Structure 1
């Protein structure tokens, strides 16, 4: 199989379980070829990414917040995170098929990310089911995919504003979510904390991959990565990063001290 074409096929799948399983299968086989020069196009009549009829997609401003102190509130919270992980599968698959003429390591890195995101989605969906719910039971928003669409013609912006901006927000938010769940202290809340431990550890690696390829592209194109990042956040109206920041995780993911200072100051 050719990896980039298979990634596009997986991206088109609407069924979330099939998408996760096909992504994990691609990663497990490791017997694929890679054609970096292929100019691919989405199949006619198919909107990307493929997604199921449920959950209902709403603007993020219309998303209701519920306290994790209640079982329903925790279900809504875990559902929101599951949707983020489902979108993250799509984001990684999109990077594989959309951008030609990159080193093979680029495509292998994003396949690894896609597989780990698929695993995260499966863990969260299984947890939801154990609590009498399922993915699709609550509304969700497409904030991550909106930035993916904005940057579809600019691989430098994609690396800057999806993994090291949108996904890096998860490094900051996850410890706060875990603290609230630990405070609740019920068995399901503590089980969710353990799942989030796995996700946080692996998301550090995903953001690190984004940082690596962003800097590689800046070096290739003669760009200063820090000043260009500030320009890209303005050009594409990236969401403002709000403290508190998980500086330990961000350092582990490859953010420089000057980048961390810029975040605090901006």
Structure 2
């Protein structure tokens, strides 16, 4: 029987976006059907494989998307969303494969579920791009998302604090306004995609919050204080408004904790 960690490593080292999404969904299906052994002997790669395109640039070198409802601006938006979801597959897989042995089965189940969701999100966005006559890889993309994974590879608490509880939480903040713009442009299919993604991301952030609370409890720390300390240490940006307080509350984020960090920034 193939090991879970080897299957995760194989998916992480799959460069082609469509094949990576399919590999992620297959391994999650195999895991749920009992076809993969609880074995974490295969090491996770420092960086996942990436396709030749898109060109990856530092965030400050990314070209402007354009303004208004132009076709160019619409394609740039959906291309950026495709890139976020593509990298999110790897972030969830790495979370399960790197920390699963120490955190247990529920942790693995939750973050493999996230990986399957992100693979599905990528696939439906890629199809939406295709309807516009575009494809993932046509435009450059930023290389900042994986940096957070590299800097927290040694500490599950830090990884949980940054990836689901900052990066994915930011998606909860910005998606409603994006959804309104997409719907106003007449793209109802795109609006439905964003509604689905928003609902899933609330659940993903909730997984992060729940497992982070367990880590904090094991350390004898307050979850709020530990989160603030880890974000201050490992997150290079700022936690800043506007916040989608209702979605954040549904996800289990502490309003007192994130507003305190925002006020310091």
TM range (shorter): over 0.9
Q: 2: distance between equivalents of 1:244 and 1:159?
A: 22
2:141 partner SS:
coil
Q: 1:68 to 1:191 in 2, by over 3 A?
A: farther
Quick one: distance in 1 between partners of 2:191 and 2:44?
38
The two structures have a TM-score, normalised by structure 1, of 0.92
**CA offset digits 1:155-181 (Å, max 9, x no partner):** 110000111101111000101111222
Cα distance between partner residues in 2 of 1:3 and 1:235: 32
Matched, 1:255 2:256: no
Q: How does 1:126-141 map to 2 (within 5 A)?
A: 126-141=127-142
Can you list the C-alpha shifts for 1:163-200, whole angstroms capped at 9, x where unaligned? 11011110001011112222322xxx322111101100
1:35 to 33, 38, 41: 38
Partners of 1:262 and 1:20 in 2: CA distance: 37
Structure 2 CA distance, aligned partners of 1:197 and 1:263?
28
Residue correspondence of structure 1 range 105-116 to structure 2 within 5 A: 105-116=106-117
The reply on whether 1:88 has 2:88 as its aligned counterpart is yes
Does 128-137 or 224-233 show the bigger shift?
224-233
Runs (5+) with no aligned partner, structure 1: none
Q: Count the aligned residue pairs.
A: 259
Q: Runs of 5+ in structure 2 lacking a partner?
A: none
Find the counterpart in structure 2 of residue 203 from structure 1: 201
Q: Please give the TM-score of this superposition, normalised by the length of structure 2.
A: 0.92
1:155-234 alignment runs, 5 A limit: 155-185=156-186, 189-234=187-232
Q: Are the aligned partners of 1:161 and 1:233 in contact in 2 as well (CA < 8 Å)?
A: yes
Change over 3 Å in CA distance of 1:72–1:161 after alignment to 2: same
Deviation, structure 1 residue 149: 0.6
1:25 corresponds in structure 2 to 26
Q: Is the 8 A contact 1:34 1:104 kept in 2?
A: no
SS of 1:101's equivalent?
helix
Question: Residue 35 of structure 1: SS of its match in structure 2?
Answer: coil
Residue in 2 aligned with 1:54?
Answer: 53
- How big is each residue's C-alpha offset from its partner over 1:76-108, in whole Å with a ceiling of 9 and x where there is no partner? 100000000000000001111112321111111
Q: What whole-Å deviation, never above 9, does each CA across 1:21-40 have from its counterpart, x for those lacking one?
A: 0111122231244536x343
